[in-house]
Amino acid sequence: RIGWACGSAKTHNAIRYAHHIARLGRKVLIVQPSIFLITETMKDLSSLTPQIRYRAIHSENSEKAIADIIDHPKHTALDGEVLFITHSALMLLPYFHRKQGWDVIVDEVPQADWCCEFNVPRTHRLITDHFAVDPDARNLADNRYVRVVPSNRPALEAIARNADGDQVWDIFQRFAHILLSPHWAAYVLDDQYTNLMNGGGERRKLLAFAHLKPSLLDGFATATIMGACFEESMLYQLWTTMGVEFRQHKA
C-alpha cells in the first residue's frame, strides 16, 4: 500500500508532518525533484522548533552522492531525523540500508515512463552488445515490443558512470542506468531492433522504452507520494494495474 497526498501546500504540510514524526524518533526520507526545492524546503524545516537533525545529500554537496546516500543510514544515530535526496538519486540507488526503519515521502509524482529513439545503424553495438532480449519475460500487451535485460553489467556500469565524460557514451548513459536498475522494465520495438541487429531493412533505429516498477518503494516503513491530480498521473494508472493499492494520506 502507498499513501498519496494532493492539493495546495502539500510540501508545507509534509515538512510539518516529517518534523513531528522525527521528534518521535522516526527517520524520514524526503525525495524531491530538484536541489533548488530541497534547499528551499530545508529553510522551512530549519524554522520549526524544536530543532531536529536533518541533512541533504546531492551532487552540489557531494562528489559521490549515491555512495554517500547508501552510507548514511549505516552510520547515522538512532534518533529521529530527516534526510533529503533527489528523485534522480532515488532512481539510481541500488540499495538502502535498513529501509524498514524509514518513512519515505516523495514530493511530486515521479516520472513513470521513459522512451528514446537512437539513430545508430553503424554504432549500435556500443550498447546492444551489452543487453539481450529476454524470451521468458512478460512483454507488454502489444507484442511488437520485447523485454531487454543486461548481459554485460560491468560494461553497462562503465557507460552509466561515464567517468571521463565521453560524449558518445553520454548518448547511452540514461539507457544504461535503466537497464541496470531493478526498478525499471525496459523494452525495444522488435521489428526495428531485429533489422538493426541483422543490418537489413529500412527501419533500423533502436527505439527503447521503459516503465517504473513499484519495487522502487518496497520495504520502507511507509511510502507517501504527493502530487496534484495524482489519480490522473501515469504512475497511478500504471501501478494500479500492477496491483498497488493507494490510500489518501490523512495526516
Q: What is the pLDDT averaged over residues 184-190?
A: 94
Q: What is the pTM of this model?
A: 0.89
Q: What is the pLDDT averaged over residues 36-53?
A: 96
Q: Which range, of 80-84, 140-144, 186-190, 204-208, averages the lowest pLDDT?
A: 140-144
Provide, rounded to the nearest whole percent, the portion of the chain with pLDDT above 90. Answer: 83
* pLDDT band, very low/low/confident/very high, at 199 (cuts 50, 70, 90): confident
Distance from C-alpha of 163 to C-alpha of 171, rounded to nearest angstrom: 14
Q: Which range, of 49-58, 137-146, 157-166, averages the lowest pLDDT?
A: 137-146
| CB neighbour class for 35 (10 Å; exposed up to 12, middle 13-18, buried from 19) | middle
Distance from C-alpha of 32 to C-alpha of 108, rounded to nearest angstrom: 7
pLDDT tens by residue, 141-164: 567 899 999 999 999 999 999 999
* pLDDT band, very low/low/confident/very high, at 7 (cuts 50, 70, 90): low
